[in-house]
Amino acid sequence: MSTRLVLFGPPGVGKGTQAALLQQRLRLNPISSGDIFRKEIEAETDLGRMATRYIERGELVPNGVTIEMMAKRLRQDDVRQHGFVLDGFPRTVKQAEALDEILLKMDFGLTKVISIEVPDEVVLHRLAGRMGCTKCGEIYHREDKLPKREGLCDKCNGPLFVRADDQPDTIMERLRVFHETTEPVIDYYLKSGLLQRVNGTMGPEETYAQIVSDLIHVMSEVS
Protein backbone atom coordinates (compact mmCIF):
# COMPACT_ATOMS: atom_id res chain seq x y z
CA MET A 1 0.00 0.00 0.00
CA SER A 2 1.39 3.40 -0.89
CA THR A 3 1.28 6.27 1.55
CA ARG A 4 0.05 9.69 0.49
CA LEU A 5 0.80 12.62 2.76
CA VAL A 6 0.43 16.38 2.83
CA LEU A 7 2.80 18.40 5.04
CA PHE A 8 1.95 21.77 6.58
CA GLY A 9 4.10 23.93 8.79
CA PRO A 10 5.33 27.50 9.26
CA PRO A 11 8.58 28.69 7.66
CA GLY A 12 11.72 27.28 9.28
CA VAL A 13 9.98 24.24 10.73
CA GLY A 14 12.00 21.78 8.62
CA LYS A 15 9.37 20.48 6.20
CA GLY A 16 12.10 19.89 3.62
CA THR A 17 14.07 17.79 6.14
CA GLN A 18 10.97 15.68 6.94
CA ALA A 19 10.20 15.20 3.25
CA ALA A 20 13.80 14.03 2.70
CA LEU A 21 13.60 11.57 5.65
CA LEU A 22 10.27 10.19 4.36
CA GLN A 23 11.87 9.74 0.95
CA GLN A 24 14.98 7.97 2.29
CA ARG A 25 13.17 5.70 4.72
CA LEU A 26 9.70 5.10 3.25
CA ARG A 27 10.49 5.80 -0.43
CA LEU A 28 7.78 8.44 -0.64
CA ASN A 29 8.23 10.89 -3.53
CA PRO A 30 8.67 14.43 -2.25
CA ILE A 31 6.50 16.73 -4.37
CA SER A 32 6.95 20.44 -3.83
CA SER A 33 4.89 22.90 -5.83
CA GLY A 34 7.93 25.19 -6.16
CA ASP A 35 10.03 22.42 -7.76
CA ILE A 36 7.25 21.47 -10.14
CA PHE A 37 6.80 25.08 -11.25
CA ARG A 38 10.53 25.40 -11.89
CA LYS A 39 10.67 22.16 -13.89
CA GLU A 40 7.66 23.02 -16.08
CA ILE A 41 9.05 26.49 -16.74
CA GLU A 42 12.54 25.17 -17.54
CA ALA A 43 11.15 22.51 -19.87
CA GLU A 44 9.01 25.20 -21.54
CA THR A 45 5.90 23.03 -21.52
CA ASP A 46 2.52 24.62 -22.34
CA LEU A 47 1.78 24.79 -18.62
CA GLY A 48 5.22 26.23 -17.92
CA ARG A 49 4.74 28.94 -20.55
CA MET A 50 1.32 29.79 -19.17
CA ALA A 51 2.74 30.10 -15.64
CA THR A 52 5.61 32.28 -16.90
CA ARG A 53 3.16 34.77 -18.41
CA TYR A 54 1.57 35.37 -15.01
CA ILE A 55 4.84 35.41 -13.09
CA GLU A 56 6.35 37.96 -15.50
CA ARG A 57 3.39 40.26 -14.93
CA GLY A 58 3.87 39.85 -11.18
CA GLU A 59 0.53 38.07 -10.86
CA LEU A 60 -0.37 34.87 -9.04
CA VAL A 61 -0.48 31.75 -11.19
CA PRO A 62 -4.21 30.88 -11.42
CA ASN A 63 -5.54 27.85 -9.56
CA GLY A 64 -6.32 26.00 -12.79
CA VAL A 65 -2.70 26.08 -13.98
CA THR A 66 -1.30 25.11 -10.58
CA ILE A 67 -3.77 22.24 -10.21
CA GLU A 68 -3.04 20.93 -13.71
CA MET A 69 0.72 20.92 -12.99
CA MET A 70 0.21 19.01 -9.75
CA ALA A 71 -2.22 16.56 -11.36
CA LYS A 72 0.32 15.78 -14.08
CA ARG A 73 2.97 14.86 -11.49
CA LEU A 74 0.56 12.88 -9.28
CA ARG A 75 -0.44 10.67 -12.23
CA GLN A 76 3.14 9.53 -12.90
CA ASP A 77 3.99 5.87 -12.19
CA ASP A 78 6.58 6.35 -9.42
CA VAL A 79 4.08 8.44 -7.47
CA ARG A 80 1.26 5.93 -8.02
CA GLN A 81 3.42 3.06 -6.79
CA HIS A 82 5.30 4.52 -3.86
CA GLY A 83 3.07 7.38 -2.79
CA PHE A 84 4.10 10.95 -2.08
CA VAL A 85 4.63 13.67 0.43
CA LEU A 86 3.26 17.03 -0.73
CA ASP A 87 4.75 20.34 0.35
CA GLY A 88 3.40 23.74 -0.73
CA PHE A 89 0.17 22.33 -2.15
CA PRO A 90 -2.76 22.62 -1.49
CA ARG A 91 -2.53 26.25 -0.40
CA THR A 92 -6.26 27.01 -0.55
CA VAL A 93 -9.49 25.13 0.16
CA LYS A 94 -10.23 25.17 -3.61
CA GLN A 95 -6.90 23.44 -4.25
CA ALA A 96 -7.62 20.93 -1.46
CA GLU A 97 -10.94 20.07 -3.11
CA ALA A 98 -9.20 19.75 -6.47
CA LEU A 99 -6.60 17.42 -4.93
CA ASP A 100 -9.40 15.21 -3.56
CA GLU A 101 -10.90 15.04 -7.05
CA ILE A 102 -7.60 14.21 -8.75
CA LEU A 103 -6.94 11.39 -6.27
CA LEU A 104 -10.52 10.12 -6.45
CA LYS A 105 -10.17 9.72 -10.22
CA MET A 106 -7.07 7.62 -9.54
CA ASP A 107 -9.00 5.58 -6.92
CA PHE A 108 -6.79 7.01 -4.20
CA GLY A 109 -7.24 9.08 -1.11
CA LEU A 110 -4.86 10.86 1.22
CA THR A 111 -3.43 8.73 4.04
CA LYS A 112 -2.83 11.64 6.43
CA VAL A 113 -2.37 15.38 6.54
CA ILE A 114 0.45 16.35 8.88
CA SER A 115 0.56 19.76 10.49
CA ILE A 116 3.96 20.39 12.09
CA GLU A 117 3.20 22.96 14.77
CA VAL A 118 5.62 25.38 16.38
CA PRO A 119 4.69 28.56 18.30
CA ASP A 120 5.44 31.80 16.44
CA GLU A 121 8.02 32.87 19.09
CA VAL A 122 10.00 29.70 18.43
CA VAL A 123 9.95 30.26 14.66
CA LEU A 124 11.07 33.84 15.22
CA HIS A 125 13.94 32.73 17.49
CA ARG A 126 15.06 30.03 15.04
CA LEU A 127 14.97 32.19 11.93
CA ALA A 128 15.98 35.59 13.28
CA GLY A 129 19.21 34.17 14.72
CA ARG A 130 20.24 32.44 11.52
CA MET A 131 23.41 33.28 9.66
CA GLY A 132 24.46 31.58 6.46
CA CYS A 133 27.92 31.19 4.92
CA THR A 134 28.17 33.11 1.64
CA LYS A 135 30.62 30.53 0.25
CA CYS A 136 29.45 27.03 1.27
CA GLY A 137 25.91 27.68 2.58
CA GLU A 138 26.53 26.25 6.07
CA ILE A 139 23.93 27.62 8.53
CA TYR A 140 24.83 29.03 11.96
CA HIS A 141 22.74 30.52 14.76
CA ARG A 142 23.53 33.52 16.93
CA GLU A 143 22.64 31.60 20.12
CA ASP A 144 22.28 27.93 19.27
CA LYS A 145 25.18 27.36 16.88
CA LEU A 146 27.86 30.02 17.03
CA PRO A 147 30.83 29.89 14.66
CA LYS A 148 34.23 29.56 16.39
CA ARG A 149 35.32 32.97 15.06
CA GLU A 150 32.79 35.77 14.85
CA GLY A 151 31.32 36.30 11.39
CA LEU A 152 33.37 33.54 9.75
CA CYS A 153 32.48 30.03 8.64
CA ASP A 154 34.16 27.14 10.57
CA LYS A 155 34.28 25.02 7.44
CA CYS A 156 35.57 27.36 4.74
CA ASN A 157 36.37 30.73 6.39
CA GLY A 158 33.70 32.39 4.25
CA PRO A 159 31.93 35.47 5.59
CA LEU A 160 28.51 34.90 7.26
CA PHE A 161 25.39 36.91 6.45
CA VAL A 162 21.74 37.20 7.48
CA ARG A 163 19.32 36.55 4.60
CA ALA A 164 16.75 39.27 3.83
CA ASP A 165 14.10 36.58 4.45
CA ASP A 166 15.38 36.14 8.00
CA GLN A 167 14.96 39.78 9.14
CA PRO A 168 12.44 39.89 12.05
CA ASP A 169 9.89 42.06 10.16
CA THR A 170 9.99 39.75 7.15
CA ILE A 171 9.59 36.67 9.38
CA MET A 172 6.55 38.20 11.13
CA GLU A 173 4.99 38.97 7.75
CA ARG A 174 5.70 35.44 6.47
CA LEU A 175 4.09 34.02 9.63
CA ARG A 176 1.04 36.24 9.23
CA VAL A 177 0.57 35.12 5.61
CA PHE A 178 1.14 31.51 6.65
CA HIS A 179 -1.61 31.60 9.30
CA GLU A 180 -4.03 33.50 7.11
CA THR A 181 -3.72 31.16 4.13
CA THR A 182 -3.12 27.83 5.86
CA GLU A 183 -5.68 27.82 8.65
CA PRO A 184 -8.76 27.42 6.39
CA VAL A 185 -7.02 24.48 4.65
CA ILE A 186 -6.12 22.89 8.01
CA ASP A 187 -9.79 23.26 9.04
CA TYR A 188 -10.84 21.53 5.83
CA TYR A 189 -8.71 18.50 6.71
CA LEU A 190 -9.72 18.61 10.36
CA LYS A 191 -13.34 18.17 9.25
CA SER A 192 -12.44 15.26 6.99
CA GLY A 193 -10.67 13.55 9.92
CA LEU A 194 -7.30 13.34 8.16
CA LEU A 195 -5.43 15.89 10.24
CA GLN A 196 -2.56 14.86 12.51
CA ARG A 197 -0.96 17.58 14.61
CA VAL A 198 2.71 17.06 15.32
CA ASN A 199 4.85 18.95 17.83
CA GLY A 200 7.72 20.51 15.87
CA THR A 201 9.61 22.14 18.75
CA MET A 202 12.08 19.26 19.23
CA GLY A 203 14.67 17.89 16.82
CA PRO A 204 14.05 16.49 13.31
CA GLU A 205 14.21 12.86 14.54
CA GLU A 206 11.57 13.51 17.24
CA THR A 207 9.31 15.15 14.67
CA TYR A 208 9.85 12.26 12.27
CA ALA A 209 9.05 9.70 14.98
CA GLN A 210 5.69 11.38 15.64
CA ILE A 211 4.81 11.44 11.94
CA VAL A 212 5.69 7.79 11.45
CA SER A 213 4.21 6.37 14.65
CA ASP A 214 0.83 7.66 13.61
CA LEU A 215 1.30 6.33 10.08
CA ILE A 216 1.98 2.83 11.29
CA HIS A 217 -1.18 3.09 13.38
CA VAL A 218 -3.19 4.18 10.31
CA MET A 219 -1.67 1.48 8.10
CA SER A 220 -2.46 -1.28 10.61
CA GLU A 221 -6.03 -0.04 10.90
CA VAL A 222 -6.40 -0.36 7.13
CA SER A 223 -4.88 -3.83 6.79
Residues contributing to the site for Zn ion (CB under 5 A): 133, 135-136, 138, 153, 155-156, 158
Q: Identify whether 163 is a catalytic site residue.
A: yes
Q: Identify whether 149 is a catalytic site residue.
A: no
Q: What angle do CA 212, 217, 221 make, to 5 degrees?
A: 145
Quote the least distance from Cβ 160 to Zn ion, whole Å: 8
The answer to whether the beta carbons of residues 138 and 132 sit under 8 Å apart is yes
Q: Identify whether 130 is a catalytic site residue.
A: yes
Exactly one of 94, 142, 174, 197 is catalytic; name it: 174
Q: Edge-to-edge, what's the strand order for the sheet holding 195-199?
A: 29-32, 83-87, 3-8, 112-117, 195-199
Q: Identify whether 174 is a catalytic site residue.
A: yes
- CB nearer Zn ion, residue 104 or residue 139: 139
Quote the least distance from Cβ 129 to Zn ion, whole Å: 17
Quote the least distance from Cβ 144 to Zn ion, whole Å: 18
Q: Specify which residues 199 forms β-bridges with.
A: 117
Exactly one of 72, 91, 94, 197 is catalytic; name it: 91
88 closest CA partner among 198, 195, 178: 178
The answer to whether the beta carbons of residues 5 and 214 sit under 8 Å apart is no
SS3 of residue 109 by DSSP: coil
Exactly one of 4, 15, 73, 112 is catalytic; name it: 15
Q: Identify whether 15 is a catalytic site residue.
A: yes
Exactly one of 105, 135, 145, 163 is catalytic; name it: 163
Cite the active site residues: 15, 91, 130, 163, 174
